[in-house]
């Protein structure tokens, strides 16, 4: 089928972004990236995707704004509480046997998942021996993650989730309220490395006992998901754990056989040894 003009324009814009700024969205799930690009086009009042492309090529300040459309930042603390409960009850007992731990939150957005994990590790007495890597490609999101400040109206949901996850303390122990904002305790991020890292273009950087990458690969096409899962496989220690989003799975991945299902309902996998 001959391509529609708009689809050609979208392919060209993604190519331009890659060549100019090295952001590679060329193999993201196309239907959803298209929706978001068309939203950006109307938001910036552009007559066409080509006009948007011209603008972002010549005006680097457009880049972060466009990234805000191309990446999806929807998140919550203790999102899918049963996932965190499964980590607490079934994964942490294994992690406890290590003298020191490395945990990678890949695609950490504004830090909701990172702080959830840090609180879980503190409650279980593992925070002090754990080094967290929190990575994302969106610089604004990384900045927000480093700040750890959320509007107070989001805290009701966060608190409810924390409780459902089997939380052993009160979430309010970890933040102070400040003019309608919840400012999370700095000590939660004493051992956190925040870093710009792309699952599409970057490589392995450390050896982890646990990787949590939730609701990121859902935006990739299958080939790209394979790349990311391969990266995780190579970044995990023997019998390391990988958790993905509740509607994601390794079933359709080329690397499926490198992992066993550890908590199938929560999409927690464990690296198999050959």
Partner 1 sequence: MSAPPDRAVVIGASAGGVQALLALLPSLPADFPWPVLVVLHVPADRSNVLAGLFEAKCSLEVKEAEDKETVRPGVVYFAPSDYHLLIEENGDLALSSDEAINYSRPSIDVLFESAADAYGERLVGIILTGANNDGAAGLAAVAAAGGVALVQDPAAAYARTMPQAARQACNAALVLSLERIADYLKGLKAE
Q: CA 23 to CA 67: how far, in whole Å? A: 9
Helices (H), 192-245: 222-235
Kindly list the residues in this chain that would bind partner 1 in the complex (CB under 8 A): 1, 29-32, 34-36, 72, 74, 215, 218-219, 221-222, 225, 245, 247-249, 251-252
Indicate which single residue of 130, 165, 209, 215 sits in contact with ligand SAM (rule: CB under 6 A). Answer: 215
Of residues 36, 79, 88, 102, which one binds ligand SAM by CB under 6 A?
A: 79
Candidates 43-51, 67-75, 161-169, 266-274: pick the segment binding ligand SAM (CB under 6 A).
67-75
The site partner of 31 among partner 1, ligand SAM, none (C-beta below 5 to 8 Å per kind) is partner 1
Select the residue interacting with ligand SAM from 90, 200, 237, 261 (CB under 6 A): 200
Residue indicated by tokens 């309902």: 265
Give 192's strand partners.
132
- Of 53-61, 96-104, 151-159, 193-201, the window that binds ligand SAM (rule: CB under 6 A) is 193-201
The one of partner 1, ligand SAM, none whose footprint includes residue 225, by CB under 5 to 8 A per kind, is: partner 1
How many CB atoms are closer than 10 A to CB 65?
A: 15
Residue placing its CB nearer to partner 1 in the complex, 222 or 239: 222
| Cβ nearer to ligand SAM, comparing 51 with 200 | 200
Partner touching 199 among partner 1, ligand SAM, none, CB below 5 to 8 Å by kind: ligand SAM
Rounded to whole angstroms, the Cα distance separating 175 from 181 reads 9
The answer to whether the beta carbons of residues 208 and 236 sit under 8 Å apart is: yes
Residue partners of 264: CB distance under 8 A and separation at least 6: none
* 93-152 binders of ligand SAM (CB under 6 A): 106-107, 109, 112-113, 136-138, 141
CA–CA dist 121, 152 (Å, integer): 23
Tell me the C-alpha distance between 215 and 226, whole Å.
15
113 binds, among partner 1, ligand SAM, none (CB under 5 to 8 A by kind): ligand SAM
Q: What are phi and psi of 193, to 5 degrees?
A: -105, 115
Strand pairing of 192-196 and 130-136?
parallel
CB of 73 to ligand SAM, least distance (A): 5
244 touches ligand SAM (CB under 6 A): no
Q: Binding partner of residue 141 among ligand SAM, partner 1, none, CB under 5 to 8 Å per kind?
A: ligand SAM
Can you tell me the distance from the alpha carbon of 66 to that of 49, in angstroms, rounded to the nearest whole number? 12
In sequence order, the 6+-apart residues with CB closer than 8 A to the CB of 28 are 70, 219, 220, 221, 224
Q: Note the residues at the interface with ligand SAM (CB under 6 A).
A: 71-75, 79, 106-107, 109, 112-113, 136-138, 141, 198-200, 214-216, 245
């Amino acid at each position: 089928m001959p391509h529609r003009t708009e689809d050609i324009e979208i392919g060209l814009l993604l190519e331009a972004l890659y060549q100019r700024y090295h952001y590679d969205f060329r193999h993201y799930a196309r239907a959803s990236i298209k929706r978001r690009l068309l939203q950006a086009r109307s938001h910036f009042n552009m007559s066409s995707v080509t006009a948007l492309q011209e603008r972002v090529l010549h005006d680097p300040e457009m880049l972060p704004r466009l990234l805000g459309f191309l990446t999806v930042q929807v998140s919550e603390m203790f999102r899918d509480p049963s996932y965190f409960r499964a980590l607490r009850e079934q994964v942490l007992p294994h992690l406890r046997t290590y003298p020191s731990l490395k945990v990678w939150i890949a695609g950490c957005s504004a830090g909701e998942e990172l702080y959830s994990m840090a609180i879980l590790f503190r409650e279980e007495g593992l925070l002090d021996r754990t080094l967290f890597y929190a990575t994302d490609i969106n610089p604004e999101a990384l900045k927000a993650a480093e700040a750890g400040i959320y509007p107070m109206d989001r805290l009701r949901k966060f608190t409810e989730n924390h409780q459902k996850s089997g939380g052993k303390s009160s979430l309010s122990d970890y933040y102070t309220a400040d003019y309608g904002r919840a400012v999370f305790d700095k000590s939660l991020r004493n051992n956190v490395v925040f870093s710009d890292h792309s699952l599409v273009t970057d490589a392995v950087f450390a050896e982890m006992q646990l990787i949590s990458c939730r609701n990121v690969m859902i935006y990739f096409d299958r080939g790209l998901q394979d790349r990311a899962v391969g990266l995780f496989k190579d970044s995990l220690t023997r019998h390391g754990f990988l958790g993905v989003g509740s509607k994601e799975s390794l079933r359709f991945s080329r690397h499926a056989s490198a992992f066993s299902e550890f908590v199938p309902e929560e999409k927690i996998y464990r690296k198999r040894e050959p």
